[in-house]
């Protein structure tokens, strides 16, 4: 499923969000299992880094959206150090996209609106999982799930106060495409005075 499209300073779009959409839409056309998976890197205030896979739920010219438990490791790190990075790696097209920037909490209305679209079982699990905390065993988690399932059995599952969305606003992009003899194409965008500029990096 690889692509042979030429990629250069002449073909890249001057707007990184439009360029992202071009590559992302092509990735979606491959019909892979989870096309919106992305690695999210965060760090504590003193620079202890961690990375995990999350799901991209939306994107536009303002940034890239994902959801989590605010008390989770990533949530607590983002609340104390809002700088973060995303990595989309797509072996199907021999491409990857790196994005670095600042994160902000999404509005309550936005998070509530998205929470309502989740399957009911996922809504219940958001309440049940004390994400990133140490638990005594799987039974503990399953019992919490059953408890909250019963609690909400005859009513709407409301969004927990400790759960919601973040938006990463990019300051820098890198679009990477595999080349012959490891002469890969690496084109980056950086922002200065509100304008995007493009540079090429050695592979």
The b/e string for 161-177 (b: 16+ C-beta within 10 A; e otherwise) is eebbbbbbebeebbbbb
Angle at which helix 138-151 crosses helix 120-128, to 10 degrees, equals 120
Segments of the chain assigned E as strands: 37-43, 49-55, 58-60, 63-69, 83-90, 95-105, 163-177, 185-192, 195-200
Say if residues 51 and 114 touch (Cβ distance below 8 Å). Answer: no
d(CA 108, CA 155): 21
Say if residues 196 and 189 touch (Cβ distance below 8 Å). Answer: yes
Q: How many CB atoms lie within 10 A of CB 32?
A: 14
**Residue positions annotated with a catalytic role:** 182
């Amino acid at each position: 499923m690889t692509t042979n499209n030429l990629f250069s300073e002449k073909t890249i779009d001057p707007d990184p969000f439009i360029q992202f959409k071009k590559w992302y839409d092509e990735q979606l056309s491959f019909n892979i299992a989870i096309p919106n998976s992305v690695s999210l890197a965060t760090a504590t205030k003193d620079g202890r880094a961690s990375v995990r896979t999350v799901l991209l739920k939306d994107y536009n010219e303002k940034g890239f959206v994902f959801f989590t438990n605010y008390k989770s490791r990533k949530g607590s790190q983002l609340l104390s150090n809002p700088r973060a990075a995303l990595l989309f790696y797509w072996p199907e097209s021999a491409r990857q996209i790196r994005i670095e920037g600042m994160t902000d909490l999404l509005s309550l209305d936005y998070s509530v609106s998205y929470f309502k679209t989740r399957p009911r079982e996922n809504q219940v699990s958001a309440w049940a999982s004390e994400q990133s905390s140490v638990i005594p065993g799987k039974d503990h988690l399953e019992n919490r799930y059953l408890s909250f399932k019963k609690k909400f059995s005859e009513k709407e599952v409301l969004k927990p106060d400790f759960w919601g969305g973040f938006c990463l606003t990019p300051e820098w992009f890198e679009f990477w495409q595999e080349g012959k003899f490891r002469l890969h194409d690496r084109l980056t965008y950086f922002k200065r005075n509100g304008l995007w500029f493009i540079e090429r990096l050695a592979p």
